[in-house]
Structure 1
Amino acid sequence: MDTTCSALVMLFALFFIERLEFICSSTNSNVSCIASEREALMKFKGNLIDEANRLSSWVGKDCCTWKGVGCSNKTGHVVKLDLHNPIDDPNFEINQLGGQISPSLLDLNHLHYLDLSMNDLRGPIPDTLGTLTSLTVLDLSYNNFNDSMLYYSLCNLSSLVYIDLSSTSHRGAIPHCLGNLASLSILRLNENYLQGPIPSEMGNMTQLIELDLCWNAFQGPIPSEMGNMIQLTELDLSWNAFQGPIPSEMGNMTQLTRLDLSWNAFEGEIPNSMRNLCNLRVLDLSNNKFTGKLSTSVGSPLGCIHNSLEDLSLSSNKLSGGLPNHLGEFKNLEWLTIGNNSFYGALPSSLGTLSYLSVLDTRDNQLNGSIPISLGQLSKLECLDLSKNAFVGTVFELHFAKLRNLRVLNLHSNSLVLNVSSQWVPPFQLQFIELSSIKVGPQFPQWLETQKNVTRLDMSNASISVVIPDWFESIYCGIIYLDLSNNQIRGKMPIFQNCKYRYSAHGKRLQLSSNRFEGPLTPLPSHVYSLNLFNNLLSGPITVSGDNVTMSFIYLVLSNNHLTGVIPVSLCKAKHITLIDFSNNQLSGKIPPCLGHLYGEIPSSLGSLQFLNSLHLRNNKFHGKLPLSLRNLTFLFIIDLGENVFTDNIPPWIGYNLTNLKFLNFQANNFYGDIPSQLCHLQNLQLLNLAQNNITGNIPRCFGNFTAMVALDRGYNFNATYHFGYNFDTTYHFRGIYDENILDSMKGIELEYTKTLKFLISMDLSNNGIVGEIPEELMDLFGLMNLNLSGNHLKGRIPNNIGNLTQLESLDLSRNKLSGPIPPSLSSLSYLSHLNMSFNNLSGRIPTGNQLQTLNDPSIYIGNDGLCGAPLNSCIDDKSFDGDHKHADESKVADETDVLWFCTGIGPGFLVGFFGVCGTLNFKKSWRYAYFQFIENNYNWMSINIAIKFAQLRRKFNKSTFGG
């Protein structure tokens, strides 16, 4: 610690000297500023925008008396310019200086101290800043410069001790020459657009005490030379794209008190040398890819880190193994977060001895056993999150005995039973309660009546089966998020009273779906922005509380009830609604004026709801045409109008304007005419259901353009967005507010898709009047799980390469006019479990082998008089000599078809890909590894079929070449 203290003393001494010179210059009347420097300051002022008149004192000849200017009491030179904007000033934004830095600043060549932070300065920084060779302190942080060359100018300022360029919009890489600043003690470059690796030359900054590079785009590994920075007390590299392991040399940084490497892509094991950082108080390695066991690194009983550590954050990595009992020896630990890893085994009871612990987060692991009662002794605990593990047993009152400071309790998704007395008065006042998917019921927990500060309450799927008690209204007003879904709660709906809120007046979310609420729907509350009453027994009309209030709805789900009547006019006041689902009710009648003036038709003014993401009107009695204004709903990703009586052409503008559509369902209506080719622009489309309409014409060949239907990996979420390697996909679940859903017929059964919706890839054009042939281009949609073209007038042959649809689980081509043989490639479909070819004009032998062997129901082939073979009657040519010749001819044709399928399909692709890739792999080791990893990961669906096909071809080749 001696060297660190010396460096800090030097730094603070420098600041003191500068301030002393400023004080002396302000009080010594014998010193006045130099004329040339006064003129430089006036030019500098002329380039600034000073709306608050902060520089009003900059008048007269003596610039040493101007606010923010400091002069040497010996020479009169300007040595300090401090125009930082105090962030704690209530008029912070008004006081910000704008404009640009004038090059005249460089005439102040005796400047030691320059602080222009917390302003709104823009434009470039003078590229000759490096001429201010006396500069020791430079702070330009939190401005809006657009300069990427500044760092090269700094390389010449060997006297610099302090640099802060945080959030200055700088770009580019750190130059190697920055490592020449051997005297630097503090370097802050956080919150910029910097990229590239850390130069190894930065290891020369052996006097550095603080280094902050967070919130940039740096890449590559940490250079081992950084282990030379033995004076460092704070190192922050978080929120970048660093990779590779932590070098063991970082264990040399024995003065570190804070190390933050979170939100990167670091990997490998945490080096054992880390446990020797005896002064470390904060260690944050969360959101990386670290592997290994905690017991061999920072959790080891060896070393001295346990004497100092106060914050240990390891969440969202790939760590595994059991939690060492030694964690109880981290006596100063206040924060322990290890969630989202693969830890297993019991939770150490020794954690109950950590008397300073305020946060314990073990969520989303594989921990099991019972919860230690010793946790009830953590009197300073504020947050307890044990959710999404495999804990079992009962949680008693003793588990909470001394938790008087607890504010967050999260036990959800465990096999736990909460068993406390109905007379129990908890020692805490909770704000966040997460008890979903554990057993709380059947009674509504009485102890909740004592909790007066609750803002979030989640008791979904908690086995509650009684009526909500009257006293619940006393805590209802404070709750911002309420989820009681997936219980068996009975009785009438609670009254959604208007409340005087402690917090936001328009922020309430109510999730009450999948219960047994019955009777009339209570008036919709104006103060709720998300309401989900899906799947209850509610009846009667939809009414709204208060006719003269503004509606706050963004999400409104009333589907699967028994509601009748019309949609209330008051919903017109919900200007920001993005999701409506009224499906599976008996709604009819007049639609509100904001949605149009026609009875039962979708009105043109629906197009004014420009933020709408999801529109469900399924299973009602709506009719008429689709208004042109719907093309304004460019955020829509799902339209479900199934099971109504709409009568219209399918509008071409759907393909041009609604390019975000993923799910389009017009099933069971009266749509007519041709399928517009413009739908082919919907590259994100996963589901197209036009079944049971009056559609005619051909299937557009451009349907092969549906890019989202070409996913090869089963379960691969090609729609997700990623940030720093983590999936923040909210498309399907609306941040937990609402599980998006849709019905689709798969394998002859209508199924509802909710949490698995993003994996559904389906095309259903059945029961229309479609003519022509099945386009070959449909065989390019490799990701299709369901293809239903039944009940049309399709003719011609089934495409030979139907085996390309490797993900197909359900195929229905029945009730058409298809002819010719069933392609042998059909036998290569490993996932096919539902097939219907009945009532066509198909002929020849039914293919055998693989998955087809399990589809042995004769009814799937009936109505095709020319078909033979299992599971139908044996082919007649199996029993005669002439038939043998005919059979041989047919076998030859089948063989040729097989060879053609291989030679024109997978064969060249495999061979070209194999030799092309292998040729490349000889030179690139990483690609070679990636290739064989791909083969290993996809073995089940790819290599088995290839092996079978090779074996078949080899047998045929041997027979024809060597006579059997």
Structure 2
Amino acid sequence: MTLEQDKEERFSGAIRYGIGINDNELVDYIENITVVTKGQERLYTGEIIYMVNLDLSSNNLTGDIPEEIISLVALTNLNLSWNSLRGQIPEKIGSLSQLESLDLSHNVLSGEIPSSITSLTYLSHMNLSYNNLSGRIPAGNQLDVLEDPASMYVGNIGLCGHPLPNNCYINDDPKIERDDLDKVSFHLSMINGFVVGLLLVNMSKLAHLLRGGAAVIVWLLISQTPSTCCVHARCVAGERDALLSFKASLLDPSGRLSSWQGDDCCQWKGVRCSNKTGNVIALNLRNPNDCWYAFYYCDELSLLGGELNSSLTTLQHLRHLDLSCNFFNGTSIPVFMGSFKNLRYLNLSWAGFGGKIPSQLGNLSSLQYLDVSWNNFFYQQNIFSLSSTDLSWLPRLTFLRHVDMAEVDLRSVRDWVHVVNMLPALQVLRLSDCGINHTVSKLSHSNLTNLEVLDLSYNQFYHTPLQHNWFWDLTSLEELYLSEYALFAPAGPIPDRLGNMSALRVLDLSYSSIVGLFPKTLENMCNLQVLRMDGNNIADLREFMERLPMCSWNSLEELSLKYTNMSGTLPTLIRKMSNLSVLLLSGNILDGELPAGVGALGSLKILELSNNNFSGLVPLGTVSSLNALDLSYNKFSGFMPLEIGAVSNLKELVLSYNNFSGPAPSWIGALANLEMLDLSYNNFSGPVPLGIGAGNLKILYLDNNKFSGFVPLGIGAVSHLEELYLRYNNFSGPAPSWIGALGNLEIMDLSHNSFSGPVPLGIGSLSNLTTLDLSYNRFQGVISEEHVERLSRLKYLDLSYNFLKIDIHTNSSPPFKLRIAAFRSCQLGPRFPMWLRWQTDIDALVLENTKLDDVIPDWFWVTFSRASFLQASQNRLRGSLPANLKRISVDRIYLGSNLLTGQVPQLPISMSRLNLSSNHLSGPLPFLKSPRLEELLLANNNITGSIPPSMCQSTGLKRLDLSGNKITGDLEQMQCWKEFDNTSSMPNTNPADHFGSKMLSLALNNNELSGEFP
């Protein structure tokens, strides 16, 4: 098929199913297309889902944009401009991850811009102008790299936020220049029959665009595989080889780079090439998971690591490089990173880099976005820290608009203010938690006229009072973060110059030791939307609220005054802040009833009033938008407030630590959106409502109440449940058999109830379980391999105080690596279970009264050498202890009431508590040099000899029990008693530094000591 375009040509007539084409013809049309573009004829084969360009602009198309359009996963260009399209932009538009150009301008689209649009990391051109869009403009990632951003949104009177002058709440996202990837221009036309066939395969709903006889011009290119696509130039061979060398030096445990094979590197995941030259222009290897999750939930398999090969320097056309959210094990940022002259975007955040930032980054003359934040963290007993002692290279980056060095150690950089003042294009500067303690009071000339976001939080500026600072003159600022400005030193009052910052929308002064109220000069701060003053000494809530500029009362969306020493009642004028979506007043001394005005805050989404003295009613009124309500640690009492049941959008409800009583109401099950419910530490009683497990519940806290009866079946239907706390209640009967259906469960605590019967085998299928506590119940029967066969993530296991026999017959490693294991009063013996040998991650092991009748095996002291707590008292353990325990780092050992023989071993210097009472130990006491030792219990053995002088070095001893032995010697002549007696009356000495000064209990009875008591 040959397709050519006449600019004046318009097709007309409705396109209907099956006109002029049968199924066989349809297949032929889809699989073969001949395109004439710019005088060249090209043949393309493929399927509709591999379409890379779709242009339906300049027609009279109507209706909604179909959601099915997101199935065109290969699209790089989408143009639906100059039509009459209505409805909303598809919510999952961000799924079109290859999109470079998006034009939806000059339509009648409405609603908000979907937040998923920020996921389009390759976007180089976007136009949403002249529609009826409204709400906050999303920000972040490639969306903020686009040139002339304001023109993209003009003609939408309902839109607000950067880059438009209309104010609304904005996120803390960067604003950077665009990555000017190649634009693609296509001049194709398509006959009517081909359009019909194309749309009927996978885009049937596009017919809605064509009703009413709309004319159509379709410009598109189709590609199926790299071997059949001629739209893009193929990758340069030298750059492909460089990428393969780069891959070879990386560690990729999850196979994220498995697509890096074959000849065309432009088709590899994370690689983007120029459509014109085939040169690699973008390399995006950012972890697909959330950074916080990957690091703190040990999702190590998703992290790239290893070394960064210098072969990367071959990619001299590179404009976008993102290695964030990976882990390079403290390696330094390579010097060769400074060799990419065309690089505009560099993101090395959350990547485990260490050492000093190379000054060669100053050679990146085109750079606009630099992020090296969050590389300072503790990992596997190693501390990694990224630092810089000299930032003189930074001003060479004259196009720089976004700088994020959060958690980079800059404590040695004294001239940082003057350095950043040489970056006139700078819009975003984030230097939070950098150890900076020096600033300046004033700049003779400020070049930061474009600065919109300044984050200096979590530093300690002891030497310059808050009110004397250069940043108060930055009247262009929209967001200012100064949390913990001077945490341990009085910062003084807020300066009057704050009133000149009329563009300010976000102000965070939390935990900055501010004393007093706002100045009376804030009448021009009408754009204020977020105000955080947590941890300061405000005291008078009413006066503080009255000092806020009245013109901001309707614009304020977040007000956070946690832990500000406020007392009294919540003022009724709170109702005048009609746009509040977040109100946080926790940790104060507020009391009385909540004013009815709280129920008039129709936009409220988060209400946090915990740790106060509120009581009485909860007047939620018409606050139907509320997502999170926290009333914990107050004095509410009686039945659970009925008003809460009308807030259908609630996702989090926290009522813990109050005096609520009576049954939990049945209407809880009607809160279908609830994800977290915390009723703990109240006096609720009776059975749990049957419908409590309805909806999307993920976290359920019912602990420390008086609930009784069976656990309702409804909880078993909550497939999303992740945490279940039922401890300290009066539940009885067998544990529910449906527990095994809770496939997402991570924490289950059924302790301190009256559950009975066998432990359900279904527990063994909970592969996500990390914590299992069944202690203090009446469970009976056997725990076998079937109970643990799939518990690969289990870290905490407590089966204590039941009637259980632990019978796991495996000589190989179980699927889990426990950190805490407690089997107190279960039957674990008589032999030491071999499966414990493989639990090398144990930090606390409790084997007390487990019917062990065996010699402590040698592997016990090797496997648990790094544990902090070992308890195996009240068994029949035999044999002797190792002569020297100094090689282990155990903090506390309890082996009392056994049959151990031999001598008391040498103790590790780190030990704090040792209990070997009621054994058959003999011989003299060892040399004792354990300054951290607080408790030494050796009663009822056969220990002989005298108390060694080295005992005097254990100055921290609080309990010493050597009773019931055969210890001899003159007690009065013990050197440490003499020293303590002498120094207690001597000047310039601290008796607390000597033996006996901290002693709470001393037992030396039933020995053979002599002399007078010192």
TM range (shorter): 0.5 to 0.7
Return the TM-score normalized by structure 2.
0.58
Q: Is the Cα–Cα contact under 8 Å of residues 320 and 341 in structure 1 kept in the other structure?
A: no
Deviations 1:498-544 (A, max 9, x none): 55745xx8xx2333333333456677976433333333333222233
Q: Residue 235 in 1 paired to residue 293 in 2?
A: no
- Give, in whole Å, the separation in 2 of the partners of 1:310 and 1:430: 24
Q: Residue 480 in 1 paired to residue 581 in 2?
A: yes
- The within-5 A match list for 1:548-567 is 549=646, 551-567=648-664
Deviations 1:464-514 (A, max 9, x none): 344322222433x63334433333433345669555745xx8xx2333333
Deviations 1:400-453 (A, max 9, x none): 131111111223354554642489656243323333344444646324584333
Return the TM-score normalized by structure 1.
0.61
Q: Is the Cα–Cα contact under 8 Å of residues 619 and 644 in structure 1 kept in the other structure?
A: yes
1:248–1:456: structure 2 CA closer, same or farther, 3 Å change rule?
same
Q: Is the Cα–Cα contact under 8 Å of residues 299 and 324 in structure 1 kept in the other structure?
A: no
1:637–1:321: structure 2 CA closer, same or farther, 3 Å change rule?
same
Q: Partner amino acid for 1:661?
A: L
- Give, in whole Å, the separation in 2 of the partners of 1:581 and 1:605: 17
Q: How many residues align?
A: 706
1:468 to 570, 592, 596: 570
Residue 293 of structure 1: aligned partner: 388
Q: Partner amino acid for 2:321?
A: L
- Give, in whole Å, the separation in 2 of the partners of 1:519 and 1:709: 48
- Give, in whole Å, the separation in 2 of the partners of 1:97 and 1:541: 49
Residue 893 of structure 1: aligned partner: none
Moved more, 580-589 or 363-372: 363-372
The CA RMSD over aligned residues, in Å, is 5.3
Deviation at 1:396, TM superposition (A): 0.9
- The within-5 A match list for 1:706-785 is 709=817, 761-767=819-825, 772-785=830-843
- Give, in whole Å, the separation in 1 of the partners of 2:573 and 2:884: 63
- Give, in whole Å, the separation in 2 of the partners of 1:590 and 1:228: 67
2:498 to 400, 404, 407: 400
1:346 to 425, 438, 455: 438
SS in 1 for 2:319: strand
- Give, in whole Å, the separation in 1 of the partners of 2:630 and 2:411: 38
SS in 2 for 1:647: strand
Moved more, 392-401 or 376-385: 392-401
Residue 102 of structure 2: aligned partner: none
Deviation at 1:698, TM superposition (A): 3.8
1:769–1:177: structure 2 CA closer, same or farther, 3 Å change rule?
closer
Deviations 1:349-374 (A, max 9, x none): 45793232111123455665443433
1:680–1:840: structure 2 CA closer, same or farther, 3 Å change rule?
same
SS in 1 for 2:471: helix
Q: Partner amino acid for 2:777?
A: N
Is there any run of 5+ residues in structure 1 with no aligned partner, and where? 1-18, 28-38, 51-57, 102-110, 124-138, 159-168, 179-188, 711-760, 880-964
Q: Residue 634 in 1 paired to residue 729 in 2?
A: no
Residue 511 of structure 1: aligned partner: 608
1:702–1:581: structure 2 CA closer, same or farther, 3 Å change rule?
farther
2:416 to 285, 310, 324: 324
1:839 to 859, 881, 897: 897
Deviations 1:157-202 (A, max 9, x none): 99xxxxxxxxxx9984498899xxxxxxxxxx69x6146xx99xx9
Deviation at 1:866, TM superposition (A): 5.8
- Give, in whole Å, the separation in 1 of the partners of 2:286 and 2:913: 57
Is there any run of 5+ residues in structure 2 with no aligned partner, and where? 11-20, 45-50, 75-183, 191-197, 203-218, 238-255, 288-303, 377-384, 695-706, 926-937, 947-1014
1:318–1:478: structure 2 CA closer, same or farther, 3 Å change rule?
same
1:582–1:697: structure 2 CA closer, same or farther, 3 Å change rule?
same
Higher RCO, 1 vs 2 (CA within 8 Å, ≥6 residues apart): 2
Q: Partner amino acid for 2:805?
A: G
Q: Is the Cα–Cα contact under 8 Å of residues 807 and 831 in structure 1 kept in the other structure?
A: yes
- Give, in whole Å, the separation in 2 of the partners of 1:878 and 1:144: 90
SS in 2 for 1:400: helix
- The within-5 A match list for 1:369-518 is 369=463, 370-371=465-466, 372-387=468-483, 392=489, 393-398=491-496, 400-417=498-515, 419-421=517-519, 425=523, 427-441=525-539, 443=541, 445-446=544-545, 447-448=547-548, 450=550, 451-475=553-577, 478-493=579-594, 501=602, 508-518=605-615
SS in 1 for 2:628: strand
- Give, in whole Å, the separation in 1 of the partners of 2:235 and 2:747: 59
Q: Is the Cα–Cα contact under 8 Å of residues 146 and 170 in structure 1 kept in the other structure?
A: no
Residue 110 of structure 2: aligned partner: none
1:121–1:341: structure 2 CA closer, same or farther, 3 Å change rule?
farther
- Give, in whole Å, the separation in 1 of the partners of 2:321 and 2:36: 35
SS in 1 for 2:500: coil
Q: Is the Cα–Cα contact under 8 Å of residues 881 and 902 in structure 2 kept in the other structure?
A: no
Deviation at 1:287, TM superposition (A): 6.5
Q: Is the Cα–Cα contact under 8 Å of residues 313 and 335 in structure 1 kept in the other structure?
A: no
Q: Is the Cα–Cα contact under 8 Å of residues 100 and 122 in structure 1 kept in the other structure?
A: no
- Give, in whole Å, the separation in 2 of the partners of 1:594 and 1:177: 56
Q: Residue 809 in 1 paired to residue 868 in 2?
A: yes
- Give, in whole Å, the separation in 2 of the partners of 1:584 and 1:376: 46
Deviations 1:898-933 (A, max 9, x none): xxxxxxxxxxxxxxxxxxxxxxxxxxxxxxxxxxxx
Deviation at 1:43, TM superposition (A): 8.1
Residue 591 of structure 1: aligned partner: 688
1:261–1:763: structure 2 CA closer, same or farther, 3 Å change rule?
closer
SS in 1 for 2:853: strand
- Give, in whole Å, the separation in 2 of the partners of 1:292 and 1:321: 9
Q: Partner amino acid for 2:916?
A: Y
1:85 to 24, 31, 55: 55
Deviation at 1:606, TM superposition (A): 1.4
Q: Partner amino acid for 2:579?
A: G
1:793–1:226: structure 2 CA closer, same or farther, 3 Å change rule?
closer
Moved more, 393-402 or 768-777: 768-777
Residue 757 of structure 2: aligned partner: 648
Deviation at 1:222, TM superposition (A): 8.0
SS in 1 for 2:477: coil
Q: Partner amino acid for 2:480?
A: L
- Give, in whole Å, the separation in 2 of the partners of 1:616 and 1:496: 35
1:707–1:156: structure 2 CA closer, same or farther, 3 Å change rule?
closer
- Give, in whole Å, the separation in 2 of the partners of 1:511 and 1:144: 53
- The within-5 A match list for 1:953-964 is none
Q: Is the Cα–Cα contact under 8 Å of residues 702 and 777 in structure 1 kept in the other structure?
A: yes
Residue 912 of structure 1: aligned partner: none
Deviation at 1:797, TM superposition (A): 3.3
SS in 2 for 1:342: coil
